[in-house]
Amino acid sequence: HLSRNFGIICELMFFTGLRIGEALALQLKDYDGKNIHVNGTSHYIVGEGIKKGTPKTKDSYRVVSLPDRIITLLNGHIYANKITDENAFLFVSVHGNLIGLHNFNTSLKTVCKQVGIKKEVTSHWFRHSHITMLAEMNIPLKAIMDRVGHSDPDTTLKIYNHVTSKQKATIAEKLNTL
């Protein structure tokens, strides 16, 4: 069942900005102990099921540095699940198969309903939250784009501008403290 991996996947996406397909397609060889090397995404192929395929765009190939919290979670997950084969996927179903995007989002909706979250939440929410968090930390737009694999600044700016509008409202407040 997805539940044993669910929390780790959610935190991984929140702290890295990975797309759900990128997170679900991670193999042990994609993790070097400090970074995730994004080089694929999960795809559903008719007649074959869920397989690892190429990333969304050429800019989706990237190296994402990890905060200590995620390193600790991944190391514990790898150890607890005795993952030693470099080609093994980090997150699989109880049957050893790649987890599907639909299954993940269905489980996410169920959990949100159980804890009383009424807002529509999908796996992509974690990616948007990551970008928002980085913008609020005043991380430069180009660094955010590189981290999340965006090639078009407009894609990132749609999220980034929302945050900077909030920040603009506090400028006068901050100037008053001088």
**Catalytic site positions:** 19, 124, 127, 150, 160
Paired strand residues for 35: 65
Taking the C-alpha atoms of residue 43 and residue 54, their distance in angstroms, rounded to an integer, is 9
* Contact between residue 16 and residue 10 where contact means Cβ atoms under 8 Å apart: no
Residue 47's contacts (CB-CB under 8 Å, 6 or more residues apart) are none
Structure tokens at 23: 């997170």
Taking the C-alpha atoms of residue 18 and residue 148, their distance in angstroms, rounded to an integer, is 6
Taking the C-alpha atoms of residue 90 and residue 17, their distance in angstroms, rounded to an integer, is 17
Residue 42's contacts (CB-CB under 8 Å, 6 or more residues apart) are 21, 24, 25, 50, 51, 52, 53, 98, 99, 100, 101
Helix axes 141-148, 124-136, angle to 10 degrees: 160
Taking the C-alpha atoms of residue 146 and residue 59, their distance in angstroms, rounded to an integer, is 8
